[in-house]
Chain A
Amino acid sequence: MTWKKLLIPLASVPIILLLAYGFRTDPKAIPSPLMQKSAPDFRLKAFDGGEVSLADLKGKPLVLNFWASWCYPACYEEAPLLEATWKRHKDQGLMMVGVDIQDTEANAREFLQRFGFTFPNAPDPGSRVSIDYGVYGVPETYFIDRQGRIVYKHVGALTPALVEAQVQSLLKDQ
C-alpha cells in the first residue's frame, strides 16, 4: 500500500487524538476571568440585620463563600469547616462572608442555625453579586487578599488542607 493511500485511514487520527484530549478537560468547569483582578464591590444586607460590603473590609484578607440551603451535600459538608476556620483565624485579621443565593429566607435561616455560623451571611437579591463574581453553581469560594485582589477560586466543597493553605497565604501577605 502506497503512502498516499495510508493517508485515508490516518486522516482519522487527529480527530481521535482530539477526542482523547477531551478526557483531560472538565466540560462543567468554567475558568474565571476574575483571577488576579480586583474583586467586584458588593453591598448586602445580612441576615442578622447589619450591612456587609467589600469596601468596608479593605485591608483585610477575605474568604467569600457562596452557598445555598438546597445545595446538598457539598454545602453541608463544607459548612462546619468554614465555621471552624473562621473561629480559628478571626482574631488574626481574617474576614469571612457568606452569600446565600437563590434561596428562601426560612430555609436559609435554618441552614445558618444548623451550622451555627458566626460570620456575616447575607442573601443576594436578584443574584447580582453572584453574577458579578461569575458564580455558576454552589458552593464556590473566593479567596481575596488585602489589596482586594481575587487570588484563588474554588468550585465545590472545600477541604481542610486547601482552606488552611489559602488562608495562611492570605494572612502572611502584608
Chain B
Amino acid sequence: MISTLGHFVLFLALGMSLYAAGAAIYGARAGREDWLASSRNAVLVNLCLVTLAMFLLEYALISSDFSIRYVANNSTRGSLTRYKIAGLWGSLEGSILLWAWLQSLFAALVVARYSDRHQAVMPYVQAVLQGICAFFLLVMTFAANPFAPAFPVPPDGRGLNPLLEVTDMLVHPLLLYLGYVGFSVPFAFAMAALITGRLSEEWLKNTRRWTIVAWLFLTGGIFYGGWWSYRTLGWGGYWAWDPVENASFMPWLTATAFIHSVMIQERKRMLKVWNLVLVTLTFSLVIFGTFLTRSGILGSVHAFAEGPVGMVFLGFLALVLLFSLGLIAYRSDRLKGHGELDSVVSRESAFLLNNVVLIGICFTVFLGTIFPLLTEAIRGTKISVGTPYFNRVSVPLGMALLLLMGIGPLIAWGRASLNNLRRNFLKPTVAAAAGAALLWALGVRQAEALLAFLCCFFVIGTIALEFWTSTRARAAATGEGFLQALAALLLRTRRRYGGLIVHLGVVIAIIGIAVSSIYKVEHEVTLKPKERLEIGPYTVQFNDLQAGERPTHIFVWANLTVFKGNTTLTELRPGQRFYPNQQSPFASVDARYHWKEDLYAILSTFERDGSSATIKVMINPMMAWIWIGGGVILLGVLVAVLPERRLAMLTVRAKAQPA
C-alpha cells in the first residue's frame, strides 16, 4: 500500500514542480501576477508532497515494512532506530529522495524569503530550482523508484552496509547534501539574471550569503568525512583521492574561488563573466559528483550503483552545462565589465591569482580523476592515478595558495605602494623566517616541511598583525580598551575578520596535514601474547585475543596495553567485526587521540587460536589539528555570515571611493 501510495505521491510532486516551473515562466512573460502567485503556491505544495514521500519511506523503514524493496535492502529488523532512519539515504533511490526533498525545501525557502523582492528575476529563479527538483523526481518516478515493491516479501532485510551503521552516517551525507543543494540557489539566481538580462549586481548580493552557507556545509561535510574515515575505516588515513571524494572537493574549490572573486565584482564591477562561469562550474561539478557516485564509471568506495541511472545523470549534466554556458555566451556582450585596475600590484591581482591557483588545483584534480578513463579511450590500457600523483601536484599549489592567503588581505585595494607592502609584510616575513630558523635549529630538515611552515608562519603573522594593528587603531580612535576594541571589530566588520578567522583555520588544518603526513611513524609487527613493540616514546604490549558476540556481528579484538616509559598510558582494543553476510571482516580501529599526536592501532591478522596477532601501530603527530582547523573555519564562517547592520552604510561608502 505504501508502495503504490509513495510512488503516486512522487508522481504528483513531479507534476507539481513542472507546473510551478511552467507557471512561473508563463506568468513572468505574460505579466500575469495570478500565475506567478499560483506557481509560488505550487512550490509549497511540492514541498509538502515530497515531505510526505519522505515520511512514507521513513515510516516504512522504521516499521520494517519489507514489502518495499528499498526497505529490505537497507535495514533489518534488528537495526537500531536511528540507523533505520539513516537507511533512507543508504543507497541510490533513497539518496535521490533526500536530495529532491532538500531541493524542494530550499526552493520553498527562496520563495518565502524573496517573494516580495527582485520581482523581475524571481520567477526564473523559481523555474530553474523547480526544474532541478523535477529532474530528481523524474529519476525516481521512472528509473529509480524508492517505493518499488519487493516480491516475494522477505522475512528480514539485508541491512545497511555495516560500515554505514555508525552515527557518522547521520551527519556526513546530510552536511554534504546541504552543501550541494545549497549551491543550486546561486546557480538559479545566475541563470535567472542571464535569462532576464538583468545583469547588475543584485543577484550577487542574494547569492553571496547562500554560497557561503552552502560552502560552510560542504566544508563541514568534507572535514567530517575525513574524520569518519580516519576513525573508522582502518587504514589510518582521511583522504584517498578517491573519485567521489575528488568530486566533492572540486565544487568546494570553485566555490572558494567564487567567494573571493565576487569581492572584486562588488567593488569594481568587473569579472562578471568569470563569476557566472564560476557559479555554473560549481553547480555543474556538483552534478558531476552525483553522476560519478551513481554511474559507477570510475571505481570508487562511495559508488552506489551502475546502469541506466548513470546515463540519465549524464544527460542532465550535459543539459546543465550546455544550457548555462550557452546562456553565458549569449549574453557575453552585455557582461563586459568596466575593467579598470589602478595597478597590477593590488588586492585585485592577489584575488585573481587566488582564482588561478584554486582553478588550477580544480583542473588538476579533475584531470587526474578522468585521466584513467581518457587513457583507456585513447591507449586502450588501464592505469591508475592515485595519491602519489595528487599529492605531488597539489602540494606546491597549496603552498602557493597559502602565500596568497597571507598576502591578499593585507595588500591594498586599488594600488599597493612600496610603503604599504613594506609596512604590512616586513614583520610577518621576518617572523616566518625566524620561525623556520627555529625549526631548523630544532632538527627539522626536510625542505618540504620547512617551506610549508614558512608559509604557515607567514600567514599567521599577517593575520596576527592585522588583528593587532586594527584593534590598536580602533582603541586609539575610540578610547576603548584593547579587548573591547577587538570585540567591536569582530562584531562590526564581520566579513573581514570572519574571513581572517577562516584563513587561520585553513592554516591550522594545513599544519596538521603537513606534520601528520611528514612525521608519521608506522610499524606492523606480528606479536605473541605478552610480547611488546616499541614505537616512538611508547611501548605497546599485546596481551591476548578475545572474541565476543554482538547483536549483529562477531567481534574479535586484541587487548593492548600502552606504556610510556614505566607508566601505563591506556588500553587499546583494535579488532575486526565479522558480519554474517559479508565476505570480509571490517576493521575496528582503536586509538588514543591527543592534540599533540594520535597513537593509532589496527588489528591486521591473527591466528584463530590466539597464539599471535599482527598489529599495525601508527603515531600521527598533530592529526587532531586538522579537525581543530576545520572547527575554526566553521567558526570564522559563522562570524562572517551573521547579518551586519552596517552593511548598507559601508556599501555606500565603498561606492563613493574613487575607483
- For B370, the chain A residues whose CB sits under 8 A away are 15, 18-19
Residue in A5, A22, A29, A104 whose beta carbon sits within 8 Å of that of B295 in the complex: A22
Pick the interface stretch among A6-14, A92-100, A116-124.
A6-14
Determine if A126 is an interface residue (Cβ-Cβ < 8 Å).
no
- For B321, the chain A residues whose CB sits under 8 A away are 9, 12, 16
The residue on B at minimum CB distance from A5 is B329
The smallest C-beta distance from B604 to any residue of chain A, in angstroms, reads 13
CA distance A117 to B326 in the complex (A): 65
CA distance A16 to B295 in the complex (A): 13
CA distance A56 to B291 in the complex (A): 52
B326/A9 in contact, CB under 8 A: yes
B332/A5 in contact, CB under 8 A: yes
CA distance A126 to B267 in the complex (A): 66
- For B329, the chain A residues whose CB sits under 8 A away are 1, 5-9
A9/B325 in contact, CB under 8 A: yes
The smallest C-beta distance from A39 to any residue of chain B, in angstroms, reads 22
The smallest C-beta distance from A136 to any residue of chain B, in angstroms, reads 12
- Give chain B interface residues in 298-356, CB to chain A under 8 Å: 298-299, 310-311, 314, 317-318, 321-322, 325-326, 328-330, 332
- For B317, the chain A residues whose CB sits under 8 A away are 16, 19
B382/A19 in contact, CB under 8 A: no
CA distance A5 to B326 in the complex (A): 8
Determine if A165 is an interface residue (Cβ-Cβ < 8 Å).
no
The smallest C-beta distance from B472 to any residue of chain A, in angstroms, reads 49
CA distance A72 to B332 in the complex (A): 58
B318/A27 in contact, CB under 8 A: no
- For B583, the chain A residues whose CB sits under 8 A away are 70-72
Determine if B421 is an interface residue (Cβ-Cβ < 8 Å).
no
**Given known A-B contacts A18-B373, A20-B314, A8 and B608 have beta carbons under 8 A apart:** no
Interface centre among A5, A11, A22, A104 (most CB of B within 10 A): A22
Determine if A172 is an interface residue (Cβ-Cβ < 8 Å).
no
CA distance A56 to B296 in the complex (A): 43
* B interface residues, how many (CB within 8 angstroms): 29
- Give chain B interface residues in 385-437, CB to chain A under 8 Å: none
The smallest C-beta distance from A120 to any residue of chain B, in angstroms, reads 26
- For A18, the chain B residues whose CB sits under 8 A away are 370, 373-374, 377
A1/B330 in contact, CB under 8 A: yes
The smallest C-beta distance from A36 to any residue of chain B, in angstroms, reads 16
The smallest C-beta distance from B199 to any residue of chain A, in angstroms, reads 16
- For B326, the chain A residues whose CB sits under 8 A away are 8-9
- For A13, the chain B residues whose CB sits under 8 A away are 322
- For B377, the chain A residues whose CB sits under 8 A away are 18, 21
Determine if A88 is an interface residue (Cβ-Cβ < 8 Å).
no
Residue in A5, A16, A22, A23 whose beta carbon sits within 8 Å of that of B318 in the complex: A16
Determine if A25 is an interface residue (Cβ-Cβ < 8 Å).
yes
- For B310, the chain A residues whose CB sits under 8 A away are 23
The residue on A at minimum CB distance from B333 is A5
The smallest C-beta distance from B88 to any residue of chain A, in angstroms, reads 27
CA distance A5 to B330 in the complex (A): 7
Residue in A19, A25, A72 whose beta carbon sits within 8 Å of that of B314 in the complex: A19
**Given known A-B contacts A16-B314, A21-B373, A11 and B325 have beta carbons under 8 A apart:** yes
Determine if A49 is an interface residue (Cβ-Cβ < 8 Å).
no
Determine if B534 is an interface residue (Cβ-Cβ < 8 Å).
no
A27/B296 in contact, CB under 8 A: yes
Determine if B381 is an interface residue (Cβ-Cβ < 8 Å).
yes
**Given known A-B contacts A20-B314, A22-B297, A30-B382, A8 and B373 have beta carbons under 8 A apart:** no
Determine if B376 is an interface residue (Cβ-Cβ < 8 Å).
yes
The smallest C-beta distance from B385 to any residue of chain A, in angstroms, reads 13
- Give chain A interface residues in 1-56, CB to chain B under 8 Å: 1, 5-9, 11-13, 15-16, 18-23, 25, 27-31
The smallest C-beta distance from B655 to any residue of chain A, in angstroms, reads 31
The residue on A at minimum CB distance from B308 is A23
- For A20, the chain B residues whose CB sits under 8 A away are 311, 314
Q: Mark A115-140, 1 if CB is under 8 A from B, else 0.
A: 00000000000000000000000000
The smallest C-beta distance from A101 to any residue of chain B, in angstroms, reads 13
- For A6, the chain B residues whose CB sits under 8 A away are 329
A27/B325 in contact, CB under 8 A: no
The residue on B at minimum CB distance from A25 is B376
CA distance A27 to B326 in the complex (A): 32
The smallest C-beta distance from A6 to any residue of chain B, in angstroms, reads 7
B299/A9 in contact, CB under 8 A: no
Residue in B311, B328, B374, B584 whose beta carbon sits within 8 Å of that of A8 in the complex: B328
Q: Mark B84-120, 1 if CB is under 8 A from A, else 0.
A: 0000000000000000000000000000000000000
The residue on A at minimum CB distance from B303 is A27
The residue on A at minimum CB distance from B366 is A15
CA distance A140 to B270 in the complex (A): 60
- For B608, the chain A residues whose CB sits under 8 A away are 104
CA distance A104 to B606 in the complex (A): 12
Q: 12 more A-B contacts (CB under 8 A) besides A22-B298, A25-B376?
A: A5-B329, A8-B328, A8-B329, A9-B322, A11-B325, A12-B318, A12-B325, A18-B373, A25-B297, A28-B299, A70-B584, A104-B608
Residues on B lying within 8 angstroms of A by beta carbon are 291, 295-299, 310-311, 314, 317-318, 321-322, 325-326, 328-330, 332, 370, 373-374, 376-377, 381-382, 583-584, 608
Interface pairs (9), CB distance under 8 Å: A1-B329, A13-B322, A16-B314, A19-B297, A19-B373, A21-B377, A22-B297, A22-B298, A72-B583
Residues on A lying within 8 angstroms of B by beta carbon are 1, 5-9, 11-13, 15-16, 18-23, 25, 27-31, 70-72, 104
Q: Which 3 A-B residue pairings sit nearest by Cβ, starting from the closest?
A: A22-B297, A27-B299, A9-B325
